[in-house]
């Protein structure tokens, strides 16, 4: 299996996502520069799955930069909404990616269904990761974490839908957890988040 080392491109223009990815990569001595910092355009995400969109972003960044590229496509899926917003999670925030607005939108839809009991508010985060090399070689993995949506949202940490998502087995939302608690890998953290779980699987294949 091909290994990652040296400098790679993190194929994102999302500052929150970049921060998490850099934290995950740091222990492996991999230098991460973002697609945004390199001035690379954001490709159109035409895939119908998280994995397909991660691959589109990784291959585009690798081809444009000449470096290995690491991409994530992730989002939240709500059972009562038929899995929405899913791959459209960022778009539910509108052109400004206003996640306070997106969380209010989800809550309004749940309230319209009378979904107030915890068992009617089930949701899961998915993270699909893809590492692509300029020659077209790629490695893909996926991680998932299940939980319940709370209202009102709680906590200033994380980004996106974190303040309304309480993972199973925990009383606090992702928004109330420290970065180490949410996505830190053992022994410092629990490897709890969807991105941490996907990253752990990816690390076995291309890092170390």
pLDDT tens for each residue of 54-66: 999 999 999 999 9
Taking a C-beta distance cutoff of 8 angstroms, is the pair 132, 73 a contact? no
* CB-count exposure of residue 199 (10 Å: 0-12, 13-18, 19+): buried
Give the pLDDT score at 186. 66
Give the pLDDT score at 187. 62
Give the pLDDT score at 5. 78
Euclidean distance between CA atoms 208 and 204, whole angstroms: 7
pLDDT in tens, 99-108: 999 999 999 9
Give the pLDDT score at 21. 81
Euclidean distance between CA atoms 103 and 109, whole angstroms: 10
**Considering 72, 73, 146, 162, which one is annotated as catalytic?**
73
Domain 7-206 has CATH 3.30.565.10: no
Tens digit of each residue's pLDDT, the chain (208 residues)? 788 878 899 998 888 778 878 888 888 888 889 998 999 998 999 999 999 999 999 999 999 999 999 999 999 999 999 999 999 999 999 998 899 999 999 999 999 999 999 999 999 999 999 999 999 999 999 999 999 999 999 999 888 999 999 999 999 999 999 888 887 766 666 678 998 899 889 988 998 6
Euclidean distance between CA atoms 162 and 172, whole angstroms: 10
Euclidean distance between CA atoms 106 and 158, whole angstroms: 18
Give the pLDDT score at 59. 97
pLDDT in tens, 136-174: 999 999 999 999 999 999 999 888 999 999 999 999 999
What's the pTM value of the predicted model, to 2 decimals? 0.89
Q: Is 84 a catalytic site residue?
A: no
Arithmetic mean of pLDDT over the chain = 92
């Amino acid at each position: 299996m091909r290994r990652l080392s040296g400098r790679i491109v993190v194929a994102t223009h999302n500052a929150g996502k970049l921060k998490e990815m850099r934290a995950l990569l740091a222990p492996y001595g991999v230098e991460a520069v973002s697609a945004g910092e390199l001035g690379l355009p954001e490709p159109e995400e035409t895939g119908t799955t998280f994995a397909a969109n991660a691959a589109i972003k990784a291959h585009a960044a690798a081809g444009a930069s000449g470096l290995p590229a690491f991409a994530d496509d992730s989002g939240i899926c709500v059972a009562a909404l038929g899995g929405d917003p899913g791959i459209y999670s960022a778009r539910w925030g509108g052109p400004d990616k206003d996640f306070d607005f997106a969380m209010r939108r989800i809550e309004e839809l749940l309230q319209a269904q009378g979904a107030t009991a915890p068992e009617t508010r089930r949701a899961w985060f998915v993270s699909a990761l893809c590492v692509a090399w300029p020659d077209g070689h790629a490695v893909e993995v996926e991680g998932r974490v299940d939980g319940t949506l709370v209202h009102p949202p709680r906590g200033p940490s994380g980004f996106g839908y974190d303040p309304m998502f309480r993972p199973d087995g925990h009383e606090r939302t992702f928004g109330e957890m420290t970065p180490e608690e949410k996505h830190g890998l053992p022994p410092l953290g629990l490897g709890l988040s969807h991105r941490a779980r996907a990253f752990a699987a990816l690390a076995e294949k291309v890092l170390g």
